[in-house]
Amino acid sequence: EKGGWPSFMKKEISEEPEAVANTLRGRVHEGAVTLHELDGVAEVLQGVNRVIVLGCGTAAYAGMVGKYAVEKWARVPVDVELSHEFRYRDPVLDERTLVVSVSQSGETMDTLMAVRYAREQGARTLSICNTQGATIPRESDAVLYTHAGPEVAVASTKAFVAQVTALYLLGLHLAGLRGTLDAAGIAHQMAELEAVPAKIQSVVETASGRIAELAHWMSDTQSVLFLGRHVGFPVALEGALKLKELAYIHAEGFAAGELKHGPIALIEPGQIVFVVVPSPRDPSSLHKKVVSNIQEIRARGARVIAIAELGDVAVVPFADEVIRIPLAAPFFEPLLAVVPLHIFGMELATAKGLDVDQPRNLAKSVTVE
Ligand code: M6R
């Protein structure tokens, strides 16, 4: 039930903090990751030499975020593939390949068929799923449930942050099994992850009002672009998907580094561009590079809405608007930066008078191929 909320989507965005907290609950003990549901496949996980993450839509974007962290922590190669492309290209699989499917419903036919195919080819399968007893987890060797609670709105929001959280738990678990992170290293990442729910809560509280205003004055907009880098890249894709499906606005997400390879030609005066800005505290030079992307598009007349960490003053002179997120280590920024984009999609659809819970032409669970 909506319980007084104007839409399921608004309720579900407000539940993003607890979706992360509930997915962590009972799985962290004194800084260590305990995933008893994976005990039966411990040997398999130890022997894995490759991970393939499968999903569609938002679930695939969660997989893309997860790839960066799992590779970094567990030092195992990770590929992410759209489920519906996977089995039509004769992929190379064997018993040392772990196929991780990500699905909120656990009933998405494209993903189910891809998992079946992977099993037939001898790969090991692990399902990250939000629905107890659904078909995909039943047909997988192991399951790691997300505990986001039932998601009713067609557009996925709280399931996304829970999926990223589950992938991070899996990454840290693999890192422990493979010895690529020591106990202190795992405890450090877990502490960062456990701090995420309160930070998401503060984003929901501080950003919602301003984003609703922005969405209101943008309600006639024809096209919105989203830029991000590293883990911010899938966040940009997710922001664009929400806008397409909810507000029926043409939207595209790009890796910011790709701009000069083509998309910058789209920039004309008045073009709205959301930019997910990496932390200036990150030792890589990504923050500087993204700020210079902002300068480039601004010089061509773009209106820039930056999603940037609190205290990042470098973006201020170049952005038309800055939406702030709390400080977090780089891998945890997507869990914060995605929230304003979820709110934006919902508010823009609302400003256009559309049904945010049930967009046209879409079903919550896509059970046909
Ligand atoms: O139930 P699933 O997670 O397998 O669904 C996958 C996609 O169909 C789903 O994420 C879809 O892209 C959403 N409508 C996005 O908001």
Query: Is the Cβ atom of 157 under 6 angstroms away from ligand 1?
Result: no
Residue nearest to atom 16 of ligand 1 (CA): 155
pLDDT at residue 369, rounded to an integer:
84
Q: Is the pLDDT of residue 244 over 90?
A: yes
Give which of 44, 95, 98 is closest to 70, Cα–Cα: 98
Q: Which of 13, 56, 157, 341 to mutate to test the pocket of ligand 1 (most atoms within 8 A of CB)?
A: 56
| Averaged pLDDT for residues 10-32 | 97
242 CA: nearest ligand 1 atom: 16
Reply yes or no on whether the pLDDT at 363 is more than 90: no
- pLDDT higher than 90, residue 142: yes
Task: Please give the pLDDT value at position 366.
Answer: 86
Q: pLDDT tens digits, residue range 288-305? A: 999 999 999 999 999 999
- Distance in Å, CA 328 to ligand 1 centroid: 27
Considering only CA atoms, which residue is closest to atom 4 of ligand 1? 103
Annotated active-site residue 158? The verdict is no
CA of residue 183 to ligand 1 center, whole Å? 35
Tokens 């006639």, located at residue: 220
Cα–ligand 1 centroid distance for 337 (angstroms) = 19
pLDDT band of residue 345 (cuts 50, 70, 90) is very high
Determine the Cα–Cα distance for residues 62 and 28; give it in Å rounded to an integer: 21
Best residue among 58, 61, 140 to mutate for probing ligand 1, ranked by most atoms within 8 Å of CB: 58
The 250-255 sheet, strands edge to edge = 250-255, 223-228, 272-276, 303-309, 321-325
Neighbours of 117 (CB within 10 A): 18
Please state, in angstroms and as integers, the Cα–Cα distance from residue 25 to each residue in 20, 29, 168, 170, following that order. Answer: 9, 10, 14, 14
- Which class for 207: exposed (0-12), middle (13-18), buried (19 or more C-beta within 10 A)? buried
Across the chain, where does the E strand assignment appear? Answer: 28-29, 32-33, 50-55, 78-82, 97-103, 124-129, 142-145, 223-228, 250-255, 272-276, 303-309, 321-325
Over residues 10-22, the mean pLDDT reads 98
Does the C-beta of 112 come closer than 6 Å to ligand 1?
no
Q: Output the six-digit token pair for 331.
A: 């891998």
**pLDDT at residue 364, rounded to an integer:** 87
ipTM over 0.95: yes
- Ligand 1 centroid, distance to 122 Cα (angstroms): 27
Q: What is the mean pLDDT of residues 165-170?
A: 98
Residue nearest (by alpha carbon) to ligand 1 atom 7: 57
In this prediction, residue 3 carries a pLDDT of 86
Region of 301 on the Ramachandran plot (φ > 0 left; ψ -120 to 50 alpha; else beta): left
pLDDT band, residue 283 (cuts 50/70/90): confident
**331 to 35, 100, 166, 328: CA distances (angstroms):** 21, 19, 13, 8
Query: Cα of 32 to ligand 1 centre, how many Å?
Result: 31
Q: Residue 11 and residue 6: Cα distance in Å, rounded? A: 8
Are the C-beta atoms of 158 and 13 separated by less than 8 Å?
Answer: yes
Q: Mean of the pLDDT values across residues 266-274?
A: 96
Residue 325's CB is within 10 A of a number of other CB atoms, namely: 26
DSSP-assigned letters across all residues of 125-157 = EEEEESSTT-HHHHTSSEEEE-------SSS-S
CB atoms within 10 A of CB 281: 13
Percent of the chain with pLDDT over 70: 100
